[in-house]
Amino acid sequence: MPKKSISWDVVAEEYSSYVEDKGDIYHLTYLNPVIFKLLGNVKNKKILDLACGNGYFSMKLAKKQALVTGVDYSEKLIDIAKSKTKSNVKFFVGDSSKMTFLKNNSFNFVVANMAFHDIMKIKGTVKECARVLKKNSKLIFSIPHPAFHSAKRKKQGKEYYKEIKRYLSLFSRQHPKFKDVMYYHRSIGYYLKLLFKQGFVVSAFHEIAIKHAKGKSIKDTNLLSHKQEIPTFLIVEATLK
């Protein structure tokens, strides 16, 4: 298994080119609107953008006058983030499971936008999220939906379905887009147990399906119905009590 820090440094330029300065189509269309709605008015709110990558989401938050700190394990991604932003965003290279450079009870929100599934030390990371958050503040994270992301799409007659072989098991595999980067599968229940152990309660839960329109890319109405029925992403808001 490749070391995560080396892997993301290796693909930093490729990843940044893919995400660009605004996020890919999935972030723009499905994830960011829900996350921004959950955040509400972020003016003067202290927000930790965890696993911030090239900093595109940090910049979006800064434009809404949030007080933003971005943290990522990849030194090259943080270098890219610093080169792209002209906003007053603080960026740190660091391990999400040991953020000793951040103070206790110092943030109103922690946002991990499509990141938890890329983090190996998830137990320590959730514990650190609880440490740096103020009481009654919130952790918001989005991930590929654990029940269906690793399942293969099958077709029987005219109908489509997902073939799920493993769900409760913990396992890692190669990232579907970036070579030599690992993806870590955990069940929804696994994530919830980590949250509850640190004193979080789930205050919002969104399963998001891709709403493709019939067109040149997808002409099969049965496939369209299937994709609209099976959620692709999961967004969880957890409040620290």
Domain ranges of the chain: 4-240
Local structure of residue 73 (DSSP, 8 states): S
Q: How far apart are CA 181 and CA 233, in angstroms?
A: 20
Task: Note the CATH number of domain 4-240.
Answer: 3.40.50.150
Scored b (16 or more CB within 10 A) or e, 191-202 reads: beebbeebebee
The token pair that represents 171 in the structure block: 């396992």
pLDDT tens track for 154-167 = 999 999 999 999 99
Query: 61 vs 22, which has greater pLDDT?
Result: 61
pLDDT tens track for 73-124 = 999 999 999 998 777 899 999 999 999 999 999 999 999 999 999 999 999 9
Task: Write down the pLDDT at residue 178.
Answer: 81
Calculate the alpha carbon distances from 171 to 36, 114, 148 in Å. Answer: 31, 18, 14
Q: How far apart are CA 86 and CA 96, in angstroms?
A: 24
Q: What is the mean pLDDT of residues 203-231?
A: 84
> Does the pLDDT value for residue 217 go beyond 90?
no
Q: How far apart are CA 67 and CA 117, in angstroms?
A: 26
Q: How far apart are CA 71 and CA 50, in angstroms?
A: 5
> Does the pLDDT value for residue 132 go beyond 60?
yes
In the beta sheet, which residues pair with residue 218? none
> Does the pLDDT value for residue 125 go beyond 60?
yes
Contact call for residues 241 and 199 (beta carbons, < 8 A): yes
The token pair that represents 71 in the structure block: 């943290």
The pTM assigned to this predicted structure is: 0.93
Task: Write down the pLDDT at residue 213.
Answer: 58
Percent share of the chain, pLDDT over 90:
75
The token pair that represents 117 in the structure block: 């599934």
